[in-house]
């Protein structure tokens, strides 16, 4: 399966992509809002991942996992895929037991939202040469499934309005991940029992569950195994995969509190704060 069908016939220079990647990285590090996309928007997902790869190389942290997002079915054919991905960096991954309420930074003048997630933890290193995976093979690579909360945030406020390639080019619009307790015996449970409800400032904003993921969590892991291998970044044991939003994309602002309840499997909460410039910003 190809990564995508390019929507335009062009071969952008490395300098062109470098400039876009550097603009996003500096905007994130310095907490500088972007009023518009910093260059021509990527023609498709291949070009977006080239920008993303350059940006990963510029970012002062190592990749500890990946977020997977759903491409709307109406435009799947245009992009040649049903999902997109972005890196989650080690320092932005927080492992939280029930009851804690950590602060999570978001871009105050950019895009900020919270998503309820089911987070797969990879059990063994994926073979670097294996680029095609079945759904069952992907499921066997999942060591544990955890409840999770993704912070989606970008210095570009319009990021989700400009299409999947733009979203992918800026780290998939990811800014952090809370990983909660593991879900016992998840492989033997009915997906309909893996439920969640999102609350912002104690107001319910959406319900859902793992059953809302087309193809389930295994499809998201399958997609990520194949994409990562094609990009020369095969998944490693311990990598976390946020498999996709399950109750909606819920906008948030600094000062608000988000809580995700996963029924008997636990709950996660965080308080959003305005991001501050990083000391390692260039």
DSSP element (H, E) containing 220: helix 216-230
pLDDT of residue 1: 37
pLDDT of residue 3: 40
Centre a 10 Å sphere on the Cβ of residue 118 and count the other Cβ atoms it contains: 26
What's the CA gap between 80 and 212, in Å, rounded? 21
pLDDT of residue 9: 40
Residue stretches of the chain with pLDDT short of 70 = 1-13, 98-99, 280-282
Burial 251-270 (b: 16+ CB within 10 A, else e): ebebebebbbbbeebbbbbb
**Residues 79-127 pLDDT 10s:** 999 999 999 999 999 998 766 799 999 999 999 999 999 999 999 999 9
What's the CA gap between 239 and 64, in Å, rounded? 6
Centre a 10 Å sphere on the Cβ of residue 278 and count the other Cβ atoms it contains: 15
pLDDT of residue 8: 40
What's the CA gap between 244 and 145, in Å, rounded? 13
What's the CA gap between 174 and 148, in Å, rounded? 13
What's the CA gap between 8 and 20, in Å, rounded? 18
Count H helices and E strands in the chain, helices first.
6, 13
- Cα-flanking dihedrals φ and ψ of residue 266, to 5°? 120, -170
What's the CA gap between 168 and 50, in Å, rounded? 10
pLDDT of residue 247: 98
What's the CA gap between 63 and 241, in Å, rounded? 11
pLDDT of residue 14: 73
SS3 call for 114: strand
CATH 3.40.50.720, applies to 14-274? no
* Burial category of 165 from C-beta neighbours within 10 Å (exposed 0-12, middle 13-18, buried 19 and up): buried
What is the domain partition of the chain in residue ranges?
A: 14-274
Closest CA to 260 of 274, 272, 246: 246
Q: Do residues 192 and 211 touch, judged by C-beta distance below 8 A?
A: yes
Sequence-distant (≥ 6) Cβ neighbours of residue 154 within 8 angstroms: 28, 107, 110, 111, 170, 171, 173, 175
pTM summary value: 0.93
Closest CA to 260 of 174, 186, 202: 202
Q: Do residues 257 and 201 touch, judged by C-beta distance below 8 A?
A: yes
């Amino acid at each position: 399966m190809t990564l995508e069908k390019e929507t335009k016939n062009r071969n952008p220079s490395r300098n062109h992509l470098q400039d876009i990647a550097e603009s996003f990285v500096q905007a994130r590090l310095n907490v500088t809002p972007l009023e518009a996309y910093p260059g021509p928007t990527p023609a498709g997902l291949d070009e977006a991942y080239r920008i993303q790869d350059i940006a990963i190389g510029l970012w002062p942290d190592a990749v500890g996992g990946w977020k997977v997002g759903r491409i709307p079915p109406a435009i799947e054919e245009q992009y040649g895929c049903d999902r997109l991905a972005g890196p989650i960096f080690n320092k932005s991954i927080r492992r939280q037991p029930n009851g804690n309420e950590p602060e999570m930074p978001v871009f105050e003048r950019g895009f900020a939202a919270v998503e309820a997630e089911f987070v797969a933890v990879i059990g063994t290193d994926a073979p670097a040469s294996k680029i095609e995976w079945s759904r069952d093979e992907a499921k066997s690579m999942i060591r544990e499934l955890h409840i999770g909360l993704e912070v989606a945030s970008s210095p570009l406020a319009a990021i989700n309005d400009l299409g999947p390639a733009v979203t992918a080019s800026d780290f998939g619009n990811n800014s952090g991940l809370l990983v909660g307790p593991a879900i016992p015996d998840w492989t033997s449970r009915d997906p309909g029992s893996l439920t969640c409800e999102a609350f912002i400032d104690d107001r319910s904003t959406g319900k859902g569950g793992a059953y809302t993921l087309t193809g389930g969590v295994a499809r998201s892991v399958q997609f990520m195994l194949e994409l990562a291998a094609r990009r020369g970044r095969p998944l490693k044991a311990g990598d976390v995969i946020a498999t996709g939003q399950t109750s909606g994309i819920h906008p948030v602002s600094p000062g608000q509190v988000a809580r995700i309840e996963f029924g008997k499997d636990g709950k996660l909460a965080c308080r959003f704060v305005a991001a501050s410039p990083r000391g390692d910003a260039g």
